[in-house]
Structure 1
Amino acid sequence: MTTRIISADCHVNEPPHVFDSVPAAYRDRTPRLMRGADGGDGWSFDGKPPKRTYGVEAMAGRTKDEHVASGLRFDDILPGNYDGAAHIADMERDGVDVSVVYPAQAIFTYQEPDRGLAQACIRAYNDWILGEFQAADPRRIVGLPMLPVDDGMAAATAELDRVLAAGAKAAFLPGNPERPYHDPYYTEMWTAAERNGVPLTYHRTFGGKPQEADWDNVAANNFSAAGTVHRFFGSTKQLTYMALGGVFERHPGLRLVIGEVNFGWLPFWAQTADEQFENQHSMGTHRITAPPSGILGEQVFVTVLDDRVGFDLARSGAYPYLAKAAMFSTDYPHSVCLWPNTRKIADELTQGLAEADAAAILAGNAARIYGV
């Protein structure tokens, strides 16, 4: 097995001071960490007791039998959730060389009605993730600043320029934007990402207002095993419309990473998308000139956990794009995280896999796309 592992999907749990740098005009209305009715701590976005408190998003350090949906206090969670140096120490324990880090509660700013306040909070989060968390060691932590995609492309591209100047290597998009990502509205942002040579990423349905009824209301502390399973498939709609809608063909330099979706489903998706490309070739509906499966491992990448089906398919050699498209991850510190057993699990998953393919999945693809 390769000696290098990059986790392409980890998370923070933001510290109480994350929004302290917002302008004075907004300071009395910023989200705050507060005590909840269940005795745990959670983030309030309206000044009222939080709808949910820490739980599934901060399970690192607990066995499966000790998992709780909520009820934890900030002092109960590992410092690696919110302190960059402690995060690196936890990476060392796990045998992980680089961590790509997604936001947590900060994503709810995409649902804030006051967009001036929301943008101020987004900028404050971005300053914290880059200037404090990633700054612990920018060679080993890739913080993902958020882009205000619902506030116009001028705002989104201006923030992209600002965070790149501050050391960002990539940027985060909400999984549920107000407009779907195949809309021409996003042309300026795709062009800016191409021009700057940086990847963009969304994390399945993470961030934004749900576009359809969700039987699990995560913000209201309503979880189920069914909802967790469904969210692994929650990104396919965006990807399919982007691919067949011609986004990647119009922007050949665009690179998109889709977080926490695994890769066992990719061959069926590629088969189905390519079939419809062929079936409707004469109908005049196409916005692309080549089968969409060609974007996998070239422009589109997915992060994977212990997806044994996906690794079996990659081991078969029947789908060469799998080893090019997959980026291994630990999902620290969430309830499905592999920490602190990542090295052992990675060794088991890659057993019998071609050495070059194992190296690509465990580190090479992420190193190539994120430049680490």
Structure 2
Amino acid sequence: MGNQLCISSDSHVVEPAEFFEPLQELFGDKAPRMVTVDPARGPQLDLGNGQLGIGLSGFFMQNVDFTTPEAAKLRRLGYDLARPGCYDVQERLKDQDLDGINAEVIYPSVIFNVYQIENLDIVKATFSLYNDWVADYCKEAPGRLFPLASLQLFDLDEAIQEMERSKKLGHVGASIAATAPPDRLYSDPYYDKFWEAAQDMHMPLHWHIFTGATPNHGLPFRQAGSALSFAGIMFTVADIIQSGVCERFPGLRFVVTEFETGWVGIMLKRLDWAYIRGGGERVFGLPLLPSEYWKRNFRVTFEDDPLGIMTREFIGTSTMMWGSDYPHGDSIFPHSQQVLSEILSDCTPEERYEMTVKNVVELYNLPFELEGPSQASVNSIPTPAVKTWRNAMPSRAMMAPATPGS
């Protein structure tokens, strides 16, 4: 690829079933573990508290047409669906090359729902085990894989210690629950020493879809789960901004991951409207508009969100980071460059450079030399067209703004 760069800000490992075995030795039946309760759904994570996590098979079902009967059969296969690159780092690097990608920021998969376990000792042990495991995985490909730690926030002193330990292991940031416990929202001053520590360590904090402290991101209906999950994270963002967290910690960075981006513009417009109409700094005690805090303190990832791209001038291309979501069912692997060429076709070279290279390198201080917009013109190895669930979605042309007389 020469000096050209394309970096996924949102990619994943998928924890193997044996990952959980040390936890079972420590906590017995209360430990999280992989089970198959419904063969039609395939393996799921048993949280050890009577709850089941999201199904495993979807983590491997990239390029699958979910509208077909065959898709239902695939769910039964579980780990047998995994690409070799999910566990063999050298095979993963081949997949990066196939997709025109130089590096990936790495999130977990199976442990997403561990934030909903009430036993704090189990949560701590699970996250500590994961932080070690994924650091070892990424060390096999220095300069290509950059891990994020997972942290609990019920014991802040231990959370800060684990964040510091994880940074020494090579983690470039940390994930926390996307929605806070309802009895202790992120606006609570209780969290201030953690925000301060993250700011001082230059550790961005991440809210990934499906990681809420309560099921369904705090939303009342399961049907809204993934389709409207951004409604839950909108509250988290608004709570952080309006409570003054961003004002008190100007160097703190939050990353909103895999909720796409089309909702951000209307959220910011409404927050700005409420701030101005409600009396501004005199009433809220905040000198900046909510949209200004967003542009300073927040980043948001997208995969193939043309509606979000249309709002880029308002929400700021400096806040947007592209990710492939490899190897999940929502992933655009191995067609990332084709998809980027389509959804960014109206963007300037500078805008594409920001969203696929510059923002992610600067946020995580990745070891790449930034040279300018010409770096963002990356071509992947040609791949054949594949029918997936995206073929059933409206085309980008159908999402274009209406013109007079149309």
Whether the TM-score (by the shorter chain) exceeds 0.5 is: yes
SS of alignment partner, residue 186 of structure 1: helix
**Residue 234 of structure 1 corresponds to which residue in structure 2?**
232
Task: Measure, in 2, the Cα distance between the counterparts of 1:265 and 1:37.
Answer: 34
Counterpart code for 1:301: R
Report the CA distance shift for 1:82/1:31 in structure 2 as closer, same or farther (over 3 A): farther
Report the CA distance shift for 1:176/1:83 in structure 2 as closer, same or farther (over 3 A): farther
Give yes or no for contact 1:9–1:101 (8 Å, CA) kept in 2. Answer: yes
Once the two structures are superposed, residues 50-101 of structure 1 have per-residue CA deviations (whole angstroms, 9 ceiling, x without a partner) of 6764332321253454544832221222233344333332222211222122
- Matching residue within 153, 156, 161 for 1:158: 161
**Residue 284 of structure 2 corresponds to which residue in structure 1?**
286
Equivalent positions of 1:66-81 (< 5 A) are 66-68=70-72, 70-81=75-86
**Residue 219 of structure 1 corresponds to which residue in structure 2?**
none
**Residue 146 of structure 2 corresponds to which residue in structure 1?**
142
Task: Measure, in 2, the Cα distance between the counterparts of 1:186 and 1:135.
Answer: 31
SS of alignment partner, residue 228 of structure 2: helix
Give yes or no for contact 1:296–1:324 (8 Å, CA) kept in 2. Answer: no
Displacement after TM superposition at 1:12 (Å)? 2.3
**Residue 215 of structure 1 corresponds to which residue in structure 2?**
221
- Matching residue within 89, 97, 102 for 1:97: 102
Unaligned runs of 5+ in 1: 217-223
Once the two structures are superposed, residues 274-301 of structure 1 have per-residue CA deviations (whole angstroms, 9 ceiling, x without a partner) of 1211112269541412111112332101
Report the CA distance shift for 1:307/1:49 in structure 2 as closer, same or farther (over 3 A): closer
**Residue 344 of structure 2 corresponds to which residue in structure 1?**
350
Task: Measure, in 2, the Cα distance between the counterparts of 1:52 and 1:308.
Answer: 27
Task: Measure, in 1, the Cα distance between the counterparts of 2:53 and 2:112.
Answer: 15
Q: Normalising by structure 2, report the TM-score.
A: 0.80
**Residue 9 of structure 1 corresponds to which residue in structure 2?**
10
Q: Which moved more, 1:268-277 or 1:59-68?
A: 59-68
Counterpart code for 2:15: E
Displacement after TM superposition at 1:344 (Å)? 0.5
- Matching residue within 254, 258, 261 for 2:259: 261
Q: Which moved more, 1:33-42 or 1:261-270?
A: 33-42
Report the CA distance shift for 1:280/1:23 in structure 2 as closer, same or farther (over 3 A): same
Report the CA distance shift for 1:284/1:294 in structure 2 as closer, same or farther (over 3 A): closer
Give yes or no for contact 1:91–1:97 (8 Å, CA) kept in 2. Answer: yes
**Residue 327 of structure 1 corresponds to which residue in structure 2?**
321
Displacement after TM superposition at 1:173 (Å)? 0.6
Give yes or no for contact 1:20–1:124 (8 Å, CA) kept in 2. Answer: no
- Aligned residues with identical type, % of pairs: 25
Task: Measure, in 1, the Cα distance between the counterparts of 2:132 and 2:327.
Answer: 22
Task: Measure, in 1, the Cα distance between the counterparts of 2:249 and 2:198.
Answer: 10
Give yes or no for contact 1:30–1:45 (8 Å, CA) kept in 2. Answer: yes
Once the two structures are superposed, residues 111-130 of structure 1 have per-residue CA deviations (whole angstroms, 9 ceiling, x without a partner) of 22322122111111111111
Task: Measure, in 1, the Cα distance between the counterparts of 2:53 and 2:209.
Answer: 22
Task: Measure, in 1, the Cα distance between the counterparts of 2:209 and 2:281.
Answer: 31
Once the two structures are superposed, residues 153-174 of structure 1 have per-residue CA deviations (whole angstroms, 9 ceiling, x without a partner) of 1121111011111111100011
SS of alignment partner, residue 195 of structure 1: helix
Task: Measure, in 2, the Cα distance between the counterparts of 1:339 and 1:71.
Answer: 22
> Does residue 1:58 correspond to 2:60, yes or no?
yes
Give the alignment's Cα RMSD to 1 decimal.
2.6
